[in-house]
Amino acid sequence: MKNSLTRNLGRLLMLLIVVLVASFAVTAWSGARTSATSVNIVNNSSRAIVNVYLSHVGADDWGGNQLGNATIGSGQSFNLTNVACDAQQIRVIGEDQDGCFVSTNVSCGQGSTWTITNDTSRDCGQ
């Protein structure tokens, strides 16, 4: 009787371990679905772009400035490469020399070009 009880507890423990390991593996695998993308930012406006930020679409979780010390002058372009994506799209936000913001959403997993012109809608906080 005692031997049977020990065997059943051993099987139950083994089953519990298998379920926990499988659950952990599925969770880790589903969270690892990140991709990378690139964005070529073309500045065809008359204003310099002094900062570029990345965010999730629909969230206010901007990361750090992607340009470092660079500026995207009028008529210039800048290529962001290996931008990590953990969703279908990311938001790219540019800040011009006047402190106004322009933005666009780009699809992840494929290269995109974002052209900024004088007609691109700006958010100047007003």
Model confidence, pTM:
0.72
Domain co-membership, 20 together with 46 = no
Domain co-membership, 19 together with 43 = no
Domains held by the chain: number: 2
Beta carbons within 10 angstroms of residue 3's beta carbon: 7
Given its phi and psi angles, is residue 119 left (phi above 0), alpha (psi -120 to 50 degrees) or beta?
Answer: alpha
Judged against a pLDDT cut of 70, whether residue 22 lies above it is answered with no
Say which amino acid occupies 8.
Answer: N
pLDDT single digits (tens) 65-106: 999 999 999 999 999 998 988 999 999 999 999 999 999 999
Residue 94 domain boundaries: 35-117
